[in-house]
């Protein structure tokens, strides 16, 4: 094993030093809307936990700056992330005045910098180990399970983010369901329409340029503008088409958000279907034709399976994009996690905004990881970067 300085580790080590020694670890506020008082690590925690945390960060910095065992780096990153999670819970209890329900304690920039730094170390270690797709999904499930265990244990209940959740628990899960419904529903609709349309564009070349250029034009329209454009026609349909309002079609709400997300989703699905089918080797099609396969048999048995990794890449792009864009739907009454984001911004309550932003990021990351694994499992063996 080579020794010396790891360049990425050096950058992350500097981030760790800044997050631990310069940036505040926690913010204390007298109530949810006033400016916070930053507290460094040694003031945000009791003496013993602060000493343990700083010692662990010092050790971790040495390990990641130098070229060390990848497994050692991964294990240390996971342990440090766990200790950080425990420490911020201790900080919430330590800084919260007893019997004061108005005071708020929030993670500050130092905590977030340290968390991102060691998440990067873990991601870099996993990339170097090149685990199989199923192993990556298991690691993701383990990380989400650990986060769920901390949340269910009540360890973070004194943090402002969890207090905001406690006040909105029922509404939170309702909006979470709405967010997922918008993102997944528009994706399913885009696949049902976009996949046949992509096959048609591949088969009928004169149609291809017009369809792709139209879908490209839709992509250039800003999301808020597209939501606004759809209000008038959908409102007209709700008024003049019998039964439309009963189906939930109206000028504001989930309907324009769903249609907008569907329109944004079409280009990646259609374009990747065209590219994937175009990438099928001509010799393969000729061999299938030679053994007497019909056009439908070639499409279903040869072309689509070979094009599937590229098609799945388009679906991955759409899903991650839709999870993010669904946040904007709250501006037109579409619901979703954006409800908390915009309420928090309007009330200058940043922890309320985080109540919508953090689940959105976690959901997008989890979706990307799972679909990346599916893409790799559907790729030909020579493209996986490892032998089966």
What DSSP character marks residue 5?
A: B
pLDDT confidence bin for 247, thresholds 50/70/90: low
pLDDT at 386: 43
Q: How far apart are CA 258 and CA 248, in angstroms?
A: 11
Whether residue 204 is contained in a domain is answered as yes
Phi-psi region of 26 (alpha: psi -120 to 50; beta: other; left: phi over 0): beta
Whether residue 151 is contained in a domain is answered as no
Structural domain count of the chain: 2
Average pLDDT of the residues of the chain:
86
What percentage of residues in the chain have a pLDDT greater than 70?
A: 95
What's the N-to-C CA distance of the chain in angstroms?
26
SS3 (DSSP) at 131: coil
Q: How far apart are CA 25 and CA 50, in angstroms?
A: 10
Residues 241 and 331 occupy one common structural domain: yes
Q: How far apart are CA 16 and CA 27, in angstroms?
A: 19
Q: How far apart are CA 323 and CA 332, in angstroms?
A: 16
pLDDT at 222: 85
Tell me which residue range forms the domain holding 229.
169-383
Whether residue 253 is contained in a domain is answered as yes
Residues 328 and 206 occupy one common structural domain: yes
Whether residue 143 is contained in a domain is answered as no
pLDDT at 375: 85
pLDDT confidence bin for 385, thresholds 50/70/90: very low
pLDDT at 3: 60
Residues 81 and 197 occupy one common structural domain: no
Of 83, 100, 130, which residue is a domain's last? 130
Residues 28 and 111 occupy one common structural domain: yes
Residues 233 and 348 occupy one common structural domain: yes
Tens-place pLDDT, residues 316-347: 999 999 999 899 888 888 888 999 999 888 88
pLDDT at 4: 76
Whether residue 291 is contained in a domain is answered as yes
pLDDT confidence bin for 361, thresholds 50/70/90: very high
CATH number of the domain that residue 306 is part of: 1.10.3720.10
Whether residue 223 is contained in a domain is answered as yes
Question: What is the phi/psi pair of residue 253, to 5°?
Answer: 110, -150
Q: Which residue has 């997944």 as its token pair?
A: 184
Residues 357 and 282 occupy one common structural domain: yes
Q: How far apart are CA 325 and CA 310, in angstroms?
A: 23
pLDDT at 290: 78
Residue 299 has pLDDT above 50, yes or no: yes
Residues 183 and 126 occupy one common structural domain: no
Residues 123 and 173 occupy one common structural domain: no
pLDDT confidence bin for 112, thresholds 50/70/90: very high
- Structure-token pair, residue 235: 């409102």
Of 130, 155, 186, which residue is a domain's last? 130
- Structure-token pair, residue 165: 């959740």
**Residue 38 near residue 108 (C-beta atoms within 8 A):** yes
**Residue 114 near residue 91 (C-beta atoms within 8 A):** no
Tens-place pLDDT, residues 275-285: 998 888 888 87
Residues 106 and 243 occupy one common structural domain: no
Residues 124 and 190 occupy one common structural domain: no
Residues 228 and 313 occupy one common structural domain: yes
Q: Which residue has the higher pLDDT, 298 or 47?
A: 47
Whether residue 146 is contained in a domain is answered as no
Whether residue 153 is contained in a domain is answered as no
Tens-place pLDDT, residues 24-39: 999 998 887 777 789 9
Tens-place pLDDT, residues 163-206: 889 888 889 999 999 999 999 999 999 999 999 999 999 888 88
Residues 270 and 203 occupy one common structural domain: yes
Q: How far apart are CA 338 and CA 351, in angstroms?
A: 13
């Amino acid at each position: 094993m080579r020794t010396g300085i790891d360049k990425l580790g050096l950058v992350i080590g500097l981030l760790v030093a800044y997050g631990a020694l310069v940036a505040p670890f926690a913010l204390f506020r007298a109530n949810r809307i006033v400016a916070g008082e930053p507290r460094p690590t040694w003031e945000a925690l009791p003496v013993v936990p602060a000493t343990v945390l700083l010692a662990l960060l010092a050790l971790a910095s040495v390990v990641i700056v130098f070229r060390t065992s990848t497994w050692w780096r991964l294990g240390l990153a996971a342990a440090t992330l766990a200790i950080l999670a425990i420490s911020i819970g201790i900080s919430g209890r330590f800084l919260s005045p007893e019997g004061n329900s108005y005071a708020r304690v929030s993670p500050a920039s130092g905590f977030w910098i340290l968390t991102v730094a060691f998440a990067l170390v873990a991601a870099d270690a996993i990339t170097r180990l090149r685990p199989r797709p199923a192993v990556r999904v298991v690691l993701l499930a383990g990380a989400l399970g650990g986060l769920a265990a901390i949340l269910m244990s009540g360890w973070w209940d004194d943090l402002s983010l969890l207090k905001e959740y406690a006040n909105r628990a029922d509404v939170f899960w309702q909006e979470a369901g709405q967010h997922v419904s918008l993102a997944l529903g528009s994706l399913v609709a885009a696949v049902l329409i976009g996949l046949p349309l992509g096959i048609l564009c591949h088969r009928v070349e004169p149609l291809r340029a017009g369809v792709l250029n139209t879908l490209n034009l839709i992509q250039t329209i800003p999301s808020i503008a597209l939501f606004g454009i759809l209000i008038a026609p959908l409102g007209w349909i709700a008024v003049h088409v019998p039964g439309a309002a009963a189906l939930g079609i109206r000028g504001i709400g989930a309907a324009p958000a769903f249609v907008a997300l569907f329109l944004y989703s079409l280009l990646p699905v259609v374009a990747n279907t065209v590219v994937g089918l175009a990438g099928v080797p001509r010799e393969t099609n000729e061999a299938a034709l030679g053994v007497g396969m019909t056009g439908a048999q070639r499409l279903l048995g040869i072309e689509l399976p070979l094009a599937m990794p590229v098609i799945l890449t388009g679906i991955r792009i759409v899903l991650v994009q839709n999870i993010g864009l669904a946040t904007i739907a709250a501006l037109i009454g579409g619901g979703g996690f954006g409800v908390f984001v915009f309420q928090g911004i309007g009330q200058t309550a940043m922890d309320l905004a985080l109540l919508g932003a953090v689940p959105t990021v976690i959901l997008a990351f989890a979706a990307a990881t799972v679909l990346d694994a599916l893409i790799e499992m559907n790729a030909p063996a020579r493209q996986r970067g490892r032998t089966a």
